[in-house]
Structure 1
Amino acid sequence: MRLVIDGDGSPVKNEVIELGREFSLPVVIVTSIDHFTHKEYPDFIQFIYVDKGNDGADYRIVKEIKVGDFIVTQDYGLASLLLSKPVRVFHHNGKEYLKETIDGLLTQRYIGAQMRKAGKRTKGPKAFTKEDRLAFKEIIRKEIEKGVSR
């Protein structure tokens, strides 16, 4: 089991890294070269950098995943691609993406895009709080514990 983060814009990188340390799990962060860092990280963290552009990180994540990985992404399209794989996919709010609900999420995304294209304003996501981070971490901790005990 590894923890894989769709790193572009993920608000829970630090929380995932903390969980990786806590459970001695490798953490893989896939992100655009635009987010390159010289910051030193522990050996259990691997960065995979991809070129700028739409969906580069998504395709690399699909290529890199392994059986049993936990993936964290806010991208419904990427989540839909991963649901046919033997992995678990989570939003940064802690909710797990499911085959039964992904079509509805993709439809909402499409409708929002159509509205914006027509010049209408749509609400963005609410600010991500400290409480949101803690809730995410607790949800994922419980799911890792279930996976580790199997």
Structure 2
Amino acid sequence: MDGDACPVRDEVFRVAARHGLAVTVVSNGSRGVRLPDGIRRVIVAEGADAADDWIAEAIRPGDICVTADIPLASRCLAAGGHAVAPGGRIWDLENIGSALAGREVARHLREMGRETRNAAFTPQHRSRFLESMEAVVQRALRGGAAPPRPMPDFFSD
């Protein structure tokens, strides 16, 4: 799990406990967040992409990454893993390309002085996340990892 400011930590812990899955929380510092027993914490060096780089290098086919970071989700999919956004979006090889393109458009608009905002996190997002996480866990447990495939490198961070 990309642990920096993740709004669904407790939900991840509950789903993982129900299925007996290991969880690793990766962050750029302890952030004062207390983790339940049995949860692995990895603290990486400060830096914009240090946590993302660690996750992308460590993820294996069938692993699940919880992240709102679209480029990280893309890297996880390319490695054969799964990716779920805290709002419940399941990233896959069919939708990640358009998400990367949309992210680039939003970045360009911000550079031009336009304001772009993400929607506030709601109870509906939390509910959608739980449904999506359960679906992805079931797929991963059945061995439904996406086969590794080079992802287009259209955009960089």
Q: 2:13 aligns with which of 13, 17, 21?
A: 17
**Larger strand proportion of the pair:** 1
- Pairing 1:121–2:115 present: yes
Q: Which amino acid aligns with 1:100?
A: E
User: Which residue in the other structure is 1:41 paired with?
Assistant: 36
User: Which residue in the other structure is 1:52 paired with?
Assistant: 46
Partner Cα distance (1:132, 1:40) in 2? 22
- Pairing 1:65–2:65 present: no
- Count residues in correspondence: 143
**Larger helix proportion of the pair:** 1
Q: How does 1:1-150 map to 2 (within 5 A)?
A: 5-33=1-29, 35-37=31-33, 39=34, 41-43=36-38, 45-122=39-116, 124-149=117-142
Partner Cα distance (1:40, 1:85) in 2? 27
Aligned residues: CA RMSD: 1.8
1:26–1:118 CA distance, 2 compared to 1 (3 A)? same
1:91–1:149 CA distance, 2 compared to 1 (3 A)? same
CA contact (8 A) 1:34 1:52 kept: no
What stretches of structure 2 of length at least 5 have no aligned partner? 144-157
Partner Cα distance (1:40, 1:133) in 2? 19
Q: Which amino acid aligns with 2:105?
A: I
Q: Could you give the per-residue CA deviations for residues 105-139 of structure 1, whole angstroms, max 9, x where no partner exists?
A: 111111111111111222x1121122321221122
Deviation at 1:23, TM superposition (A): 1.0
CA contact (8 A) 2:83 2:91 kept: yes
Q: TM-score, normalised by structure 2?
A: 0.82
Partner Cα distance (1:81, 1:146) in 2? 19
Deviation at 1:149, TM superposition (A): 4.7
Give % identity.
29
